[in-house]
Structure 1
Amino acid sequence: MVDMDSRFEQDRSSDSDLPQPQWTEEIGLQTVDPDGRVQPVTIYVGQPSAAVVALLDGGSLTEISGTDYLDCLSQARRQLERDGRLLCCQGARPDVHPSGQLRQFTNGRQAYVRFPDARGEVRATVDILDPASPEDVVSLDDQRAAVIRAWNAQHPGSQI
């Protein structure tokens, strides 16, 4: 956890020689709980060369680093889900998932929107950190199950 007031300090002095992330974006999002209560959260995005985000939730700032932005988002979502809340972003929709190539080229920031009957057609992409409606998002486990169902429906001979 990092003190909320220090979130924009660059290259803070500390015992560590590691440089502190520089936040390049501030994204206002919402979370929703099972009762439909909506709460604001903020995601701070680090420089594109590094996969680091910070989640500001109720005055508490948590820095999250990962292999790419999708990994960071998954960690933030898992943290919120432990509190019974879903993050309302495009990356939490059941019909959004990146290919390995798109994930590599965008550092995990873009993902495809699956259309059930659109085999072989060019697919739309979304920024996984863009806002989404509370009724459009699911948990990480439900999203994974939806991706597996879609894959199995399109590739009946090679079930995963």
Structure 2
Amino acid sequence: MNSRFEQDRSSDSNVPRPQWTEEFGLQTVDSDGLVESVTIYVGQPSTALIALLDGESLTQINGTDYLDCLTQARRQLEQDGRLLCCQGARPDVHPSGQLRQFTNGRQAYVRFPDARGEAPETVDIFAPASPEDAVTLDDQRAAIIRAWNAQHPRNRI
């Protein structure tokens, strides 16, 4: 990992920089199909902190959990017309409240509306995904609501 992200222990700084525990090289894609590389650095499991390295710009994002951090990073990229190509940006990926709590928002289920009785697959939300699988936050939310309504016609959202 790049040394600029190691804990800052110099005497001229009272605020230490976070220590990054993982690094994900991901892609973004825009509406023209242009693919660009970004890197996400993930903080220690006891924190909900990530950093998005986009070109020369490094943005630290903290939230209530990792999914909240990823949502903020995706929203920032969507404002630039780009989609983040990761498992957490797929239309069929969403955590349950319990899974979100137990994994600090790091894991989510792959939901299949027709798969009844089978345990759903779980994925790391930061793992890479194909550009064809990435959708906007609004499209992802709509897909999850459609899947819920199809499975629970009497308890529609």
Q: Give the TM-score range, shorter chain.
A: over 0.9
What's the CA shift for 1:12?
5.5
The 1:61/1:121 distance shift into structure 2, 3 A limit, reads same
Letter in 2 for 1:129: F
- Does structure 1 retain, via aligned residues, the 8 Å contact 2:113–2:150? no
**TM-score of the superposed pair, with normalisation by structure 1:** 0.91
Query: What RMSD, in angstroms, separates the aligned Cα atoms of the two structures?
Result: 1.8
Answering whether residue 143 of structure 2 is matched by residue 142 of structure 1, we say no
Aligned to 1:112: 109
Unaligned 5+ segments in structure 1 are none
TM-superposed CA distance for 1:26, in Å, is 1.0
The structural deviation recorded for 1:116 is 2.1
TM-score (norm 2): 0.93
Q: Which residue of 2 aligns with 1:38?
A: 35
Which consecutive unaligned segments of at least 5 residues does structure 2 have? none
Q: How many positions carry a matched residue from both structures?
A: 156
Q: Does 1:59 align with 2:45?
A: no
Shift of 1:99: 0.3
Q: Deviations over 1:114-146 (max 9, x none)?
A: 112112311100000000000011000000000
What SS class does the counterpart of residue 70 from structure 1 fall into? helix
Runs of 4+ in 1 over 3 A off after TM superposition: 11-19
Alignment of 1:1-160 (within 5 A): 7-11=4-8, 18-160=15-157
* TM-superposition CA deviations, 1:8-58 (whole Å, max 9, x none): 141356998554211001110000000000000000000000000000001
Judged with a 3 Å threshold, the aligned counterparts in structure 2 of structure 1 residues 122 and 58 are, in CA distance, closer, same or farther, namely same
CA distance in 1, matches of 2:12, 2:148: 48
Q: Structure 2 CA distance, aligned partners of 1:77 and 1:91? A: 10
Deviation at 1:7, TM superposition (A): 4.0
State the percentage of identical aligned residues.
82
